[in-house]
Amino acid sequence: MGTMQPGEPLLIVSHTFPPYRGIGGRRWAKFAKALARRGHPVHVIHSDGPKELKGSLWSEDVRTPGIVTHPLPQRYPTVLFKRPLKSLGEKLAYRLWGRVMPLLVKGNWLDKAVLWEGPFLKKAEELIRTHGIRHVVITGAPFRLLHFGLKLKQRCPGIVLTGDLRDPWTWGHVYGHGTLGAEREAHERAMEAAVMQGYDHITCPAPAMLDHLRRTYGGDPTRFVLLPHAIDPDDLGTPAPPLRDGRLRIIYAGSLYGAQEAEAYFKALLKGLTNARERDPEAFHRCQLDLYITGHGVDRYTGMVKAAGLEGTIHFHAPLPARQLFPLVRQADLVLIFIPSGNRDLLGTKFNEIFFLRKPVLHVGVPGLVSHTITAKRLGASITVEDLPSELPRIIAGEHRISVEASADLGEIELDRITDRLLREVLV
């Protein structure tokens, strides 16, 4: 077998995809861009998404010539996943749909693709037959899409089907898993097993995920391929000169997810800054924390900052596209990373990007692959949430200096290098 033929088209199915906001669309928007630049026509089926959730930070990537998007109506009630719910009408609608959807759906009724089967299969089959598409890549979450792919293969038996899991499925603790009840969880496990047996390739960004799938389902281990989140040099922007104004700039960019864990983290962060103010007022007043929080509102967090009297130190900013954000990251002295315990072994996109910039990282969370990678590659430090209130004042005072190994070899996570692996090991 060889790689895809020059000019050979492919189909990517990614429920969240630019201009629909959400980090879930970033991974395959980047691979789509890299493949289109190599001359492969890339067709993408994705959810049109509600108007209020448009404005992806990666919309520019999917304007690359050669990418053709095919948005389908969402169908799933937006109110079940939109946060925060502000109006009484939204809260009442959430309760109503929370009662109706379990009656309509087997398995995980919180999966946003559960009502998408008919429109998806119709559009995918049409594209495959019209354009002579051989390779189909379906990425989840939402995971129900992967099960729909089995039906697509029955209709179009000549396709080579690749399933991409960005996060754990039934063995994870997000997307409703752990709260569904035994019968619904069993239905999801049966679908996962069918996908693992029926797909030609399974890709994941994390070694721990591949290890779990190989142990659980066996078979040819080469079907399971590590496909890390890639960093795109186009995103890194023009290097900015150091400001050298005597300020200690700390930056956090990304979602604050994990609900209760995120709140505990933010409270510990505020406590750490309050302690720093009491311990060394001069060093504290030279400190500045900039937050670029994506994915949800920040009203609750701004209220907590105001109550702590830290408005002059903590600054909230609107999310920025990578090309605008990364020059600011380059100018920062320290990058904060918070990861919920359930993701301690998952190296998300932002890790690779920040590592590649070689900025000192302070990871806050439980030990795992994330913390081990940071410390082993000498990319920064890792502490627990419980230690943050006492350790942050030492960092601000200059007693705990966090450095980075500038010579660490991180070239293997560049977009073109990982696209080479995608073509060599998966799209064959």
- Work out the number of other CB atoms within 10 angstroms of the CB of residue 239: 10
As a whole number of angstroms, the distance between CA 54 and CA 425 comes to 34
CATH label, 234-411, candidates 3.40.640.10, 3.40.50.2000, 3.30.1330.10, 3.40.50.300: 3.40.50.2000
Percentages helix, strand, coil for the chain, rounded to the nearest 5? 45, 15, 40
CA 269 – CA 151 distance, rounded (Å):
48
C-alpha triplet 80, 84, 85: angle, nearest 5° = 65
Looking at residue 408, its pLDDT comes to: 57
Q: Where are the domains of the chain?
A: 10-227, 234-411
Length of the chain measured in residues: 428
Identify whether the C-beta of residue 374 lies closer than 8 Å to the C-beta of residue 334: no
**pLDDT value, residue 422:** 95
The CATH architecture of the domain made up of 10-227 is 3-Layer(aba) Sandwich (3.40)
Same fold yes or no, 10-227 and 234-411: yes
pLDDT at 1: 46
pLDDT string in tens for the chain (428-residue length): 457 888 999 999 999 999 988 778 999 999 999 999 999 999 999 999 888 888 888 889 999 999 999 999 999 888 888 777 778 988 998 899 989 989 999 999 999 999 999 999 999 999 999 999 999 999 999 999 999 999 999 999 999 999 999 999 999 888 888 888 999 999 999 999 999 999 999 999 988 899 999 999 988 888 999 998 888 888 876 666 667 788 999 999 887 765 578 888 999 999 999 999 999 999 999 999 999 987 667 888 999 999 999 999 999 998 888 778 888 888 899 999 888 777 777 766 666 666 667 788 899 988 888 888 888 878 889 999 999 999 999 999 999 988 887 665 556 788 999 999 999 999 98
d(CA 35, CA 377): 30
114's tokens: 């559960």
Distances (CA, A) of 361 to 251, 270, 281, 357: 10, 18, 24, 10
Please give the pLDDT value at position 262: 83
Q: DSSP string covering 32-61, please?
A: HHHHHHTT--EEEEEE---GGGB--TTTTG
Sign of CA dihedral 27, 199, 15, 132: positive
φ, ψ dihedrals at 164, nearest 5°: -115, 120
pLDDT at 351: 63
Q: Rounded to the nearest 5 degrees, what angle is found at the Cα of 136, between the Cα atoms of 203 and 187? A: 65
